């Protein structure tokens, strides 16, 4: 029997606005894919990101463009040439991983030769607000092992200091989302050191980050928007020491695994990140998280209602989804 592929848009409301340097999000727009082969169905999810020129319509159109090939049996390796990196390929790739696991009776972890995903410390995000509001937010989760602070170029020093004072023991990741230039980063160096920041994520705009070559930020610097797939790594030399692997950027678990391995081979640290999306996006990413130095997979925790059986937060420790949710035997 020939496969079938369906794709649909879902708008998932957030319980709290998600503010970063480039705007505010009140709902997560995702595209879900289901691939059926006989009685077996595999699922995947992608989160279109306007920063990368994506929309729900463009992602659905890309998926429609490969529907016949996938239904005729195109596999994950074929997708790497049939589709560009991005949310569309992520949704289809992850659906194929899930389908293979269910059809074979062999879980994704077993296929990879890795342990099944377990509990893992994952950053809880403190979004941009006044320093006082960010301190209150941090105080509520000060027990968490890792906090991620969203800032811009307006008053990052006060925001970072406020969060550190409210959460004295948490490891801190600071994420300006491309909003800093060299002058701001230079001025912030002492603040980052004094606040014991563990990681500075993508301070400069991708494509305008050459000044990071040889720049001493005082703390490790992580590439996010500047790296999507393994082929991007050569351009990062001397600028970044860590790379943020996101399935929606890489275009699925297959390419994300390649990126993580290639980063390690170059001596770079690895972070696993996500878009604001449901647990269907996070379950595949857990297979990268298990070999990462930093994990930031709290996207579903911003949803007013996640998918049944999805991941759960336990004081800043992410609990894996229920058995059979995604990628199980």
List residues with catalytic annotation.
150, 246
Burial of 27 per CB tally in 10 Å (0-12, 13-18, 19+)? middle
Q: Please say whether the beta carbons of 154 and 145 come within 8 A.
A: no
| DSSP-assigned states of every residue in 53-65 | T--HHHHHHHHHH
| DSSP-assigned states of every residue in 110-135 | HHHT-PPP--EE-PEEE-S--HHHHH
Q: Residues 265, 269, 272, 276: is their CA dihedral positive or negative?
A: negative
Burial of 36 per CB tally in 10 Å (0-12, 13-18, 19+)? middle
d(CA 261, CA 326): 23
Query: Which structure tokens are listed for 313?
Result: 């937060």
């Amino acid at each position: 029997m020939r496969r079938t592929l369906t794709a649909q848009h879902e708008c998932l409301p957030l319980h709290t606005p998600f503010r970063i340097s480039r705007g505010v999000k009140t709902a997560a727009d995702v595209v879900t894919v289901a691939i059926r082969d006989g009685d077996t169905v595999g699922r995947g999810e992608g989160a279109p990101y306007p920063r990368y020129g994506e929309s729900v319509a463009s992602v659905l159109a890309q998926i429609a463009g490969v529907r016949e090939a996938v239904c005729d049996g195109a596999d994950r390796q074929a997708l790497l040439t049939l589709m560009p990196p991005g949310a569309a390929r992520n949704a289809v790739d992850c659906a194929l991983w899930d389908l293979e696991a269910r059809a074979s009776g062999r879980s994704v972890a077993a296929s990879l030769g890795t342990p099944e995903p377990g509990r893992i410390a994952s950053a809880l995000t403190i979004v941009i607000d006044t320093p006082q509001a960010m301190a209150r937010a941090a105080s509520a989760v000060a027990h968490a092992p890792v906090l991620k602070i969203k800032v811009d170029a307006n008053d990052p020093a006060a925001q970072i200091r406020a969060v550190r004072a409210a959460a004295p023991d948490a490891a801190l990741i600071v994420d300006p989302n491309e909003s800093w230039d060299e002058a701001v980063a230079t001025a912030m160096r002492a603040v980052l050191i004094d606040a014991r920041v563990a990681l500075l994520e993508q301070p400069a705009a991708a494509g305008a980050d050459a000044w990071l070559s040889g720049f001493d930020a005082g703390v490790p610097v992580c590439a996010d928007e500047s790296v999507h797939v393994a082929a991007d790594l050569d351009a990062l030399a001397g600028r970044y020491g860590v790379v943020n692997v996101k399935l929606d950027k890489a275009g699925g678990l297959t390419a994300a695994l390649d990126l993580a391995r290639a980063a390690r081979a170059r001596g770079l640290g690895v972070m696993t990140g996500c878009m604001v999306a449901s647990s269907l996006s996070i379950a595949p990413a857990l297979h990268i998280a298990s070999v990462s130095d930093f994990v930031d997979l709290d996207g579903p925790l911003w949803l007013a209602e996640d998918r049944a059986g999805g991941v759960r937060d336990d004081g800043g420790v992410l609990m894996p989804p229920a058995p059979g949710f995604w990628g199980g035997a």
